A and B are shown apart, each in its own frame.
Chain A
């Protein structure tokens, strides 16, 4: 017990640092994937066949292979196969490579959710806008977009919660996120070794954060309840 009390502050401090990296990856991914997903969605809905085919193939590859594998390929392929260290070195390079892999992966999932959302909006909405002399751009931003957002909040929430936990996959390229920080105490770090509880304790961080997100996303859903 005494030993635990001694170790606890050290572990928490280390986990905090790891969790900060987890959060950074989480927010960077969201920031990148939310708009990129929309662009991919428009690509796959394009009436220009080569573009829509190309987009669909890319989405198929990204969704059809493990994110872990994508992380490994994106991080190691340029250096080991092409002989070009495009990511630089150290933790920053791992973060950069992880961000690219995560943004791309999540954008593909988001794009399919967006596509479903856009296509579920009745044509009558667009026709009403056209008849009122609105441009297609105005119709999208002033009419369709908010209705789409309302419809996609539940499925996107699902993806966002998944993303919180998926960030741990970056461990595979040794990004020092919270799982990495917890595991460190098994091998030995800061005078603590052979301890598995710090790894298990990371669960608390995930639970608190995903709980917070669930509440926030629930509020967003409620906020959009003023129309149907």
Chain B
């Protein structure tokens, strides 16, 4: 069964149709790359999945459970949406780390706040806190930041910040981890370290959706590639199909800009 199913997703901003009838699905452990020129709707698509934008039409299903159905008002209520967001993790282009917390604090914050809702929180406060801290430390070590845990975001390089942000998203164990151009704010030297971490996650069969302009990386890391143009999915398939033998003229034109 598909872990994620997206059906007939559309979104209009002030009369501009940004998404037009988007349909795709994703299997557990798969990596999907969303490629396409700026303004083609890739980022909006990710933001809809994370409920940062509300789709005008469409259905979002995770593990067969309907999280969002524009036609069913029960699923679109703000209060219900908060918990549903936890199925998804999102790593932003500009990191959006919380500046007043250390790397460790950034990774722990949301888990700590969620733990407060547990019925046994009061009795086991300390154990819960230690568990969360331990988990966060393991994640940061995994990201190669074992010696940076006590640093604040402004003391870290862009690449390090983005790796903290990835750890922060992973801390909540989302079913699907989304990346919104994770390396677009980084210089080429720092891009590598972030892409390496994402590659490692792919090898561990983390389910991911990656919006990226790094074509070589997308080709290398993904199982499935979706090419978006003007709010539509124009072409999709294996990396080999889309990058090797693009069918559509628009895809060929777009990929032609990237010398491989």
Contact = CB atoms under 8 A, between A and B. Distances in A.
A146 B109 CA distance: 15
A196 B100 CA distance: 52
Interface in B74-127: 82-83, 85-86, 88-90, 92, 94, 96-100, 109-110, 113-114
Interface of A: 122, 124-125, 127-135, 138, 142-143, 146-147, 150, 226-228
Given A127-B52, A227-B153, A138 B113 contact: yes
B50 interface: yes
B217 interface: no
A132 B110 contact: yes
Given A124-B92, A127-B92, A228 B52 contact: no
Given A124-B94, A128-B92, A228-B154, A134 B100 contact: no
Contact of A125 (B83, B96, B154): B96
Contacts of B152: 226-228
B116 to A, nearest CB: 9
A150 B98 CA distance: 13
B232 interface: no
A142 B96 contact: no
B197 interface: no
A47 to B, nearest CB: 13
Contact of B96 (A122, A138, A226, A228): A122
14 contacts: A122-B96, A124-B94, A125-B96, A125-B98, A129-B110, A130-B50, A131-B52, A131-B85, A132-B109, A133-B114, A135-B82, A143-B98, A150-B100, A226-B152
Contacts of B99: 147, 227-228
B85 to A, nearest CB: 5
B96 A127 contact: yes
B42 interface: no
Interface in B161-188: 168-169, 172
A133 B100 CA distance: 19
Q: Which of A125, A147, A227 has the most CB of B within 10 A?
A: A227
Given A131-B85, A131-B88, A227 B154 contact: yes
Contacts of B94: 122, 124
B82 to A, nearest CB: 6
Q: Which 7 pairs show the lowest CB-CB distances between chains A and B?
A: A132-B110, A124-B96, A128-B96, A228-B154, A227-B99, A131-B90, A227-B100
A127 B180 CA distance: 13
A226 B105 CA distance: 14
B82 A132 contact: no
B172 A132 contact: yes
Interface in B136-171: 152-154, 168-169
B82 A133 contact: yes
B85 A133 contact: yes
Contact of A142 (B109, B168, B169, B172): B109
Contacts of A132: 85, 109-110, 168-169, 172
A135 B79 CA distance: 9
A200 B154 CA distance: 49
Nearest to B165: A128
A189 B181 CA distance: 76
A227 B100 CA distance: 5
A32 B131 CA distance: 41
Contact of A133 (B92, B110, B154): B110
A133 B96 CA distance: 15
B150 to A, nearest CB: 12
A134 B113 contact: yes
